[in-house]
Amino acid sequence: MTEHLTPTESELGSYLIRHLDTIPELSILELSERTHISKSAIHRFCKKLGFGGFNEVKVAAAKELAEPRANSEWIDVNYPFEENDGPQPVAQKLAKLYETAIRDTYKCMDFVQVQQAARLMNRARGIDIYTHAHNMNVAENFQDKMLAIGRLVNCPKGEYNQRATVLAAAPDRVALILSYSGRASFIRPILPVLHRKKIPVILIGKAGSNRFPEYVTHALSISGQENLRDRISQFSSHIAMQYMMDVLFGCIYNIERQQNIDYLTQSIDFMDDREPEP
């Protein structure tokens, strides 16, 4: 139902999904204060989804919460397993966590924005991914997938290389920023330069992570259930980010699907020179 929503309305929808259990008790003023979205914008959002107003949304949320759900076992994304858990419980709980992160990210997706971002990246002469820490693994995985279809992606590491890449980039490139919180220190200095050089920016992070909408062309939301500090590791945010990047790659691949199939077919013998199995 989000195809015709604005980015602000999509973020509001994501907030409602992630905080469904609190919605029946909220007033429209409280929701406005929590989301920093005006009451009139909230009302327009409700109308777009076919409700008479926010009160009808509250009723629908209460009904949704009252319905029994299959496989509704709750998982703590920050501490998914306990001290005495052996291999099987750890594996089972992580499987549940990954499933939850992927399902939640799917619900957060604005598919119009995803397709527009994919087309933008497909048209670009080059893609530069700006990120750090564990998200660099996701960036390099995307880089490998794109290389397999003959597309070069740059993943500059470290503050110096990132800033030098921004200065050297031309307007025919696209900047892809991966940051779960949107608060990473490397983001703020590079955005004004990218904007000044008219380089489109795609930001991927949890809903509400777009703190610089004046500089971001497309903001794509992923599951935002993970705590930034109080957690074992980035289990949920990592799998959510990986899922979004794989979706983007799939969309890019399908834009020129036959051309990409031909490239893979022609390159396989050169790339894989192992003796064929008997």
Are residues 58 and 117 located together in one domain of the fold?
no
In this structure, is residue 118 part of a structural domain? yes
In this structure, is residue 275 part of a structural domain? no
Question: What is the residue-level pLDDT of the chain in tens, covering all 278 positions?
Answer: 566 788 888 889 889 988 888 888 889 999 999 999 999 999 999 888 878 889 888 888 877 776 544 444 678 999 999 999 999 999 999 999 999 999 989 988 889 999 999 999 999 999 999 999 999 999 999 999 999 999 999 999 999 999 999 999 999 999 999 999 999 999 999 999 999 999 999 999 998 888 899 999 999 999 988 988 899 999 999 999 999 999 999 999 999 999 999 999 999 989 888 877 77
Are residues 143 and 36 located together in one domain of the fold?
no
Domain that holds residue 20: 7-66
- We report the CATH number of the domain holding residue 53 as 1.10.10.10
What's the rounded Cα separation, in Å, for the pair 223 and 109?
9
What's the rounded Cα separation, in Å, for the pair 211 and 200?
16
In this structure, is residue 45 part of a structural domain? yes
Q: What is the pLDDT of residue 70?
A: 42
In this structure, is residue 182 part of a structural domain? yes
Q: What is the pLDDT of residue 67?
A: 55
Instruction: Return the bridge partners of 176, or none.
Output: 129, 202
In this structure, is residue 242 part of a structural domain? yes
In this structure, is residue 85 part of a structural domain? no
The answer to whether the pTM exceeds 0.95 is no
Q: What is the pLDDT of residue 141?
A: 98
In this structure, is residue 95 part of a structural domain? no
- We report the CATH number of the domain holding residue 219 as 3.40.50.10490
Are residues 201 and 263 located together in one domain of the fold?
yes
Are residues 120 and 238 located together in one domain of the fold?
yes
Are residues 153 and 243 located together in one domain of the fold?
yes
b (16+ CB within 10 A) / e for 32-69? beebebeeeebeebbeeeebeebeebbebbeeeeeeee
Are residues 114 and 51 located together in one domain of the fold?
no
Are residues 263 and 133 located together in one domain of the fold?
yes
Task: Using alpha carbons, select from 178, 198, 187, 204 the residue that is nearest to residue 124.
Answer: 198
> What's the total number of domains in the chain?
2
Are residues 116 and 34 located together in one domain of the fold?
no
In this structure, is residue 229 part of a structural domain? yes
What's the rounded Cα separation, in Å, for the pair 100 and 23?
21
Are residues 59 and 166 located together in one domain of the fold?
no
Q: What is the pLDDT of residue 3?
A: 63
Are residues 254 and 182 located together in one domain of the fold?
yes
